[in-house]
Structure 1
Amino acid sequence: MIEFIEPLLIEYSLITAFAVIGLLVWISYVLSGRLTRGRIHGSAIAILIGLVLAYFGGLETDGKRGIADIPVFAGVGLMGGAMLRDFAIVATAMGVHLGELRRTGMVGVLSLFTGIFVSFFFGACVAYAFGYRDAVSLTTLGAGAATFIVGPVTGTALGASSEIIALSVAAGLVKSIMVMVGTPFVARFIGLDNPRTALIFGGLMGTTSGVAGGLAATDPKLVPYGAMTATFYTGLGCLLGPSVMYFLIRLIA
């Protein structure tokens, strides 16, 4: 039976990946509801399980792509690649009322630039404290503190080493999980209960997955608004990272 099923799963690897990820997400949401009553969003649990599986997959195969190094799960590499990732990010804009976006005005724009500069600065300071002194490494790690997408985009553009790029992704993942888990707990204290504050929150935090997961656990109706500015944040960070931020850090470092 296994000899028949395994070649089929390998041949239709992308479908296999969707089935596996769907099962993983279902389990994560069940755990979220039963163990935390929804306070820790299922997406955060799914990310943690995914990281564990990636680690053991890479460990088992001595590979570099995590669980995608196992032939049966090779489709996970495509499913998690840039094409579907970018499609998912763009799709988060669905459901936004442009009137709410316009009413945010300059405050929303200011939140974007504030969030990006603060994240870059904090990430670069932590990198400096750990002994990194060259502008490329500092910029890449600062970009990773912005999001785990901005980090590798910036590092690749500047020619950073694979180790630095990997660290920038790790920094972005930590931020994403912290935002995802922490949002429901702080929402009441910061007035995160309407589209306008959700737009500003997304601009300040920037991590699309973290903001979307956190807002979903707070109020699902706010997800498209926070995700909209978080998506703008990602794009703006990818533009500013290898250019303005790099030259600023070169002047300071």
Structure 2
Amino acid sequence: MLDILTTVLVKNGLLTAFAIVGATMWLSYVLSARLTRGKLHGSALAIMLGLLAAYISGVATGGKNGVVDIKLLSGVGLMGGAMLRDFAIVSTAYGATLSDMRKCGLAGIVSLLVGVVLSFVIGAGVAYAFGYTDAVSITTIGAGAVTYIVGPVTGAAIGASSELLALSIAAGLVKSVLVMVGTPVFAKFIGLDNPRTAMVFGGMMGTTSGVCGGLAALDPKLVPYGAMTSTFYTGLGCLMGPSVLFFATKALVG
């Protein structure tokens, strides 16, 4: 009976993945409500549980792909792939209304540019402080601080090693969790309580998962506006990382 059940779950890997991720999200929100009274958002806990599961799976199987190395959870690789990820990001942004987007105006555009450059400079500075002195390494890790999507895209384009790509993803994940956890805490201090500031916030922070999770904990109605600019932020970062930012870094460090 157990063998039959396992076979069915493996053959329907994507459905199994949805069920497991759904159960993880449910558990995360329960823990968030009961242990932190909602101060630590359920999405942040879900990311932490996912990272922990990936680590344990990698150690147990000796693999390199986290839970995907376990045959029963192979469908997570498809569910977490670029296609469904990008669909989720774009569909979330469709909840924003055009009239509110227009109110953001120049502030939204400026926030995108400032957000990408500032995140990159901070990430590049940390990379340099830890002994990375070549342009490829600094750019890849700096791009990871922009988002964990921009990092590997940039690194792959400029010929970074797999170790650097992993570091860039790690930097982006840390940023995502920090933004998700910190948004409800600092919202009052930065006036994050309307669609316009949510769009500026999304443009400054950029990490779509972190921004959406943080805004969901604050006010679900603000999520589409933060998702809108943070989605553009990711695209802008992918364009600037391997080009403008890389050449600027190369000009500085040689």
TM bracket, shorter-chain basis: over 0.9
SS of 2:93's partner is coil
Aligned equivalents of 1:79 and 1:117: distance in 2?
Answer: 31
Aligned equivalents of 2:227 and 2:90: distance in 1?
Answer: 9
Alignment pair present for 1:239 and 2:218: no
Q: Which residue of 2 aligns with 1:20?
A: 20
Q: TM-score under structure 1 normalisation?
A: 0.99
Aligned equivalents of 2:221 and 2:15: distance in 1?
Answer: 30
Aligned equivalents of 1:75 and 1:196: distance in 2?
Answer: 38
Gaps of 5+ in 2: none
Q: Which residue of 2 aligns with 1:33?
A: 33
For residues 164-194 of structure 1, the C-alpha deviation after alignment (integer angstroms, 9 at most, x for no partner) is 0000000000000000000000001110000
For residues 209-247 of structure 1, the C-alpha deviation after alignment (integer angstroms, 9 at most, x for no partner) is 000000000111100001110000000000000000000
Aligned equivalents of 1:125 and 1:51: distance in 2?
Answer: 26
Alignment pair present for 1:52 and 2:52: yes
SS of 1:95's partner is coil
The amino acid of 1:136's aligned partner reads: V
Q: TM-score under structure 2 normalisation?
A: 0.98
Aligned equivalents of 2:189 and 2:129: distance in 1?
Answer: 32
The amino acid of 2:25's aligned partner reads: V
The amino acid of 1:16's aligned partner reads: T
SS of 2:37's partner is coil
- Structure 1 stretches of 4+ moved >3 Å: none
Alignment pair present for 1:117 and 2:117: yes
Q: Which residue of 2 aligns with 1:176?
A: 176
How far residue 91 of structure 1 moved from its aligned partner, in angstroms, is 1.2
Q: Which structure 2 residues correspond to residues 26-105 of structure 1 after superposition, within 5 A?
A: 26-105=26-105
Q: Which residue of 2 aligns with 1:4?
A: 4
Aligned equivalents of 1:116 and 1:242: distance in 2?
Answer: 13
The amino acid of 1:38's aligned partner reads: G
The amino acid of 2:55's aligned partner reads: Y
Alignment RMSD, CA only? 0.6
How far residue 92 of structure 1 moved from its aligned partner, in angstroms, is 1.5
For residues 29-48 of structure 1, the C-alpha deviation after alignment (integer angstroms, 9 at most, x for no partner) is 11111111212111000000
Alignment pair present for 1:202 and 2:202: yes
- State, as a whole percentage, how many aligned pairs show the same letter: 65
For residues 29-80 of structure 1, the C-alpha deviation after alignment (integer angstroms, 9 at most, x for no partner) is 1111111121211100000000000001111111111011000000001111
Q: Which residue of 2 aligns with 1:166?
A: 166
